[in-house]
Structure 1
Amino acid sequence: MAIDISEIPDILQRRTISFYAVFILLVAPLWCAVPLAWAFVVYALRTGRIWSYSLPGLTLFVVALSEVIFSVHHLHLTRQLSSPPNTGHGSIPEIQVAFQRILKAGLAHLSPDDYDEETLDEERPGSPEEDIVQLEHDDHRAIDFRNTLRTWFGRQPWSTVRLHEVRQWIYWSIFNKHLPELEELPQTHKAVLDDALDLLQKRLGKRIPEGSDVSCRPILLNLDKATILWRPFTLYAFTTVTNLCLDHYYQRSQGFSRGNHNGLEYLVRIPKNWKPPRDPRPVVFLHGLGLGLLQYHTFLSHLFQEFADRPLLIILQPHISQNIFHARYLSPMPRKQTTKNLSSLLASFGWTNLDPSTNSSEDEGHHPNAKDRGQNGVTILSHSNGSYCHAWMLKDYPHMVTRSCFVDPVTFCGWEGDVCRTFFYKTCYTGTELLMRYFVGTELGVVNLLQRNFDWSSNSLWYEEIPNARNRSKTLFLLGDKDSIITPSRVKLYLRSHGIRKGLWCDPNGRHGQALLAGGEGCKVVYEWLKEREC
């Protein structure tokens, strides 16, 4: 009989020295800057000593006063996120399809190792064509699913999870609302909830006990109270000014132009003599959470030098770049608007066509070698949170994306709960975890995006939604085995179970973001792949 890993408590961890070092040397000083600024301003004004300060003292007072004023503004913005959103995740039929895909993932009897992608005949091994049937409680597929699902319930042993909490979780995942009393549920909602619960229990291999256990309270990402920690005005100002300087530098010295397409901001460089589809196809870069251009400057600088022969498009995302002074900082563009604007932007450059039926015909009519090149389109290179937008384009305009490179993608296996738990719920034990929690997980713009504007069904990408997923020349996945944000072993298991081999590159010592460090092995893999002629 298989060991039921869903009943084994997680190993208790102890905080490392790096945690305390980061807390004392970095997090605590930055967090204390705001209350210290308040104390200094109040002291200077109440004692009247401000009138006796010399130039250095007055400068310090002005800086402290700016922190005080900004903290009030920050508090005002924070209160805007105190209430859960009123909008749902999406259409109910779309949510139900995504929910069934979750239940079908891992059902097929396929080994992630016993597979030769050169000889496999099935188009989509382990795809949603599997039926959801009642599993035995000791079926390894049921045990694995229970162990995965308990992440949404605080990693408590599965036997402690009760039906009320599971209903709460299902209701949130479908309707993005708190579960009302069962007798108050509309009949349509009750029917959807009961159907989802029935399928879920089949996949779990056992019935969920009646009752409630508050110790297993589920993660309700969009509804739970958001934790936002202040940070100094000077930190935001430094990040914003640095990104503006880099923006201007790219325009002056790297040949980029800045544009705004219906609210979608970007930097683009198109070589003068470049012609599609004769020359290498354009590269679209979608960055992740953090500091915007500042965070990716080294990687981008090498990218500019290595690929001067093709157009480069960088999509700017102020809401995940700590650009708190931007008008759209708390108004991230939703999926449909983003893909509509990005697709029309790509079409306006002449890189691809909005109508998929004209993509290849136009190429073949005007370019003799179009058939050898494949359809006209772009290469999308995404990192981390950028993989969500990448996924949206593959869902809505797959014909425009002829090559895809996913670096540290969070779009896969997001339904397993590891990413959101790591960002917002898990206790920090290491310095890296604390850095990620303070600088990313509790930052106002990130919290707004991931806890108030997160659409899990749109953000989840499935194997069958990726064109040419098993063709390495067209699709590449890069992971680091020591990634602390995603669970690489789960993502690898999912991709490998669908036959992806040559296109999956893994760094055994890699951490999140390390694959894009200039000079690293991951960066070399990305550059070499971009240089390849796809086949």
Structure 2
Amino acid sequence: MRSLFHLPNWVYHLITFSVWSIVPGSWLYCAYFLTINFSLHHQLTNLLSILPQPSRLLFSYALLELVFSIYYFFRAWTAQKRLHRFNHEPEFMRESLERAARSGLRTQASIDRYPPCDDLKRSSRQAGSQTRINDDQVSSVSSSSGFSSLASSSSTAPSTPPLSPSFGSVTELKPLAWDDPRAVDFRSHQVLWFGNCKYSEIGRENLQEWITWVLFNRPRSKSLRESAEAVLTDQICSLFEARAGAVLPPGYNPRLRTRVIRLTLDPIRVRAHPLALYVATSTVSWTIKQLLFRCEFVERKSGGKLKYLIRKPIGWDDQPVKSRTLPFVFIHGLGLGLIQYTLFLNYLANSSWARARPVMILLQPSISLAFFDRQHLSPPSKEDMTADMTKAIERLGFSETGFEILGHSYGTIVAGWIIKAMGSLVRRVCLIDPVCFCEWEGHVCHNFLYAEPLPGLERLLRYFLATELGIAKTLHRHFDWPANILWPTDLPKSSAVFLAGCDSILDAYRIHTYLKEYGMGDRIVLSPSAAHGQLIFEDKEPFRAIKAWIEGQSISMN
């Protein structure tokens, strides 16, 4: 049986066009219906009178889609409003960016090279192959770009004014040489935040503009340039220059004004999605829930926004704490909600391993095409989620035993929140297609939301997921990347990471190298030919390896 992830491009295009065309087709059909009826009453032209009579039933449906599309774009317009900045201490932001800048310095940038991946043609767009500068090109680039090498001119980064005590101080970094492989690698991936431009196109004020967004979630203004916050921005800029091995030219490049990625400030990119799609996904999701209810799951709420399904074995609460089986928490990623996880849900519902322990399935309506749910446009923040999860853990008795977590894709971000908030209770962690690592490099944001999608599967994902209202708003207005980062040091020793080599969203090989740098090489499984989601969606060898790890069996790590 052919994998759904490796179908001919025309199949993906046909599916995408068939669903996309419902909305414009409905507008055209309504216009056709009204025109025909008007012509029959007024005998305008013979041509119109001989056309086939439109169906009133079909007109009723088309009119419903038309009205829904107007409401849909109204909600999209209201969703464009920028939210208040995230509430982070300046010290936390400074430390996060310092750790990001120092990442990759332990090795000589021995990044794993990409193997062929013809089905997704990922090498044609990933920065790792497109923008990385070869060693034999370095001398010619450095001489013509206008950069001055920090390492050749000074042993320390440029000095900046002292910070206000509330911000702490930025630890200086010894500048790398321009041709240091670690500097070359850093530059080639930093440009993703600037529309994958050439590094020589970035001016220092462009970098300061981006850092201002990262630190304070707002545009760079004149008042900010004269404040203590501007000093922190300037110091972080100098830190990044030292890491890149080059002082950026002064000034601002206006050509990058519309290309720089400032996720929570940029307009939300939304495309029309038909009412029929939401009705269909809601119906199937409801059906899956009913099947889970038959398997003794029940739906519960905790606090203001946390919804989850839970099943506990009879008598589990009455057992001594030491003899209880460890509860299992599953956190799904963005997409069609529970629909895309039917294989894994069947395992959780019916396997003897899962039936012997409490199983908790977190629900996330904002990233599940759940248009009719109240939380479709109001995803929980990190603070909301961890507070509600803490209450649920206490109520369910998991605080006595601890628990294990499996997160997939966007679910790894939520898993990271929980791990950092209640790490002493998290016994084991399994992360599949993790988007919670190396978020400062911009691969996830650039590939999923901004880069031109490649023909086929990527275009399907761009339409159905990236430009869907709830998902787009979650990513563009609620994506708190410093809080979303999970550091390898936060993970318990009993952890596993599963990566797909042909992942078109995250850079699996860079994540692989990054985690090995932290000594996690024996806890990583990388499937070279798999696409994003394929590891857990299809019953193949990687899925069986995931089940084996969950059940505590030994598997082959690489």
TM-score by length of 2: 0.80
Worse overlay, 296-305 or 40-49: 40-49
* Matches of 2:11 and 2:363, distance apart in 1: 33
* Matches of 1:459 and 1:222, distance apart in 2: 14
Task: Name the counterpart of 1:350.
Answer: 397
Task: Name the counterpart of 2:49.
Answer: none
Task: Name the counterpart of 1:260.
Answer: 301
Task: Name the counterpart of 2:236.
Answer: 196
Contact 1:111 1:497 in 2 (8 A): no
Contact 1:395 1:465 in 2 (8 A): yes
Identity %: 30
How many Å apart are 1:390 and its aligned residue?
A: 0.5
Task: Name the counterpart of 1:31.
Answer: 20
Task: Name the counterpart of 1:502.
Answer: 522
Task: Name the counterpart of 2:12.
Answer: 22
* Count of residues in Structure 1 that have an aligned counterpart in Structure 2: 474
* Matches of 2:398 and 2:87, distance apart in 1: 32
Show CA shifts across 1:236-286 (max 9, x none): 1100111112112211x2110111112311111111133443143111000
Q: Which runs of 5+ in 1 are unaligned?
A: 1-15, 114-128, 354-375, 469-473
- Counterpart check, 1:167 vs 2:208: yes
How many Å apart are 1:405 and its aligned residue?
A: 0.2
Q: Which of 164, 177, 187 is the matching residue for 2:218?
A: 177
Residue identity opposite 1:493 in structure 2: T
Q: Which of 87, 99, 102 is the matching residue for 1:101?
A: 99
- Counterpart check, 1:522 vs 2:537: no
* Matches of 2:509 and 2:538, distance apart in 1: 25
Residue identity opposite 2:15 in structure 1: L
- Counterpart check, 1:483 vs 2:503: yes
1:462–1:130 distance in 2 versus 1, CA, 3 Å = farther
How many Å apart are 1:89 and its aligned residue?
A: 6.1
Contact 2:299 2:307 in 1 (8 A): yes
How many Å apart are 1:518 and its aligned residue?
A: 4.3
How many Å apart are 1:186 and its aligned residue?
A: 4.3
* Matches of 1:493 and 1:18, distance apart in 2: 32
Worse overlay, 299-308 or 104-113: 104-113
TM-score by length of 1: 0.84
Contact 1:270 1:310 in 2 (8 A): yes
Residue identity opposite 1:257 in structure 2: V
Partner SS state of residue 260, structure 1: strand
Superposition map of 1:35-46 within 5 A: 35-46=24-35
Worse overlay, 330-339 or 130-139: 130-139
Superposition map of 1:62-211 within 5 A: 62-88=60-86, 90-109=88-107, 132-181=173-222, 185-211=225-251
Worse overlay, 89-98 or 436-445: 89-98
- Counterpart check, 1:226 vs 2:271: no
1:304–1:450 distance in 2 versus 1, CA, 3 Å = same
Show CA shifts across 1:486-528 (max 9, x none): 0001100110011112210111111111111342112111111
* Matches of 1:237 and 1:50, distance apart in 2: 34
Task: Name the counterpart of 1:250.
Answer: 292
* Matches of 1:491 and 1:349, distance apart in 2: 35
Superposition map of 1:94-493 within 5 A: 94-109=92-107, 132-181=173-222, 185-216=225-256, 217-251=259-293, 253-262=294-303, 263-274=305-316, 275=319, 276-306=321-351, 307-353=354-400, 376-468=401-493, 474-493=494-513
Contact 1:70 1:233 in 2 (8 A): yes
Task: Name the counterpart of 2:167.
Answer: none
1:111–1:143 distance in 2 versus 1, CA, 3 Å = closer
RMSD: 2.6
Contact 2:36 2:53 in 1 (8 A): no
Q: Which runs of 5+ in 2 are unaligned?
A: 1-5, 42-51, 112-169
How many Å apart are 1:85 and its aligned residue?
A: 2.2
Partner SS state of residue 352, structure 1: helix
- Counterpart check, 1:511 vs 2:510: no
Contact 1:18 1:430 in 2 (8 A): no
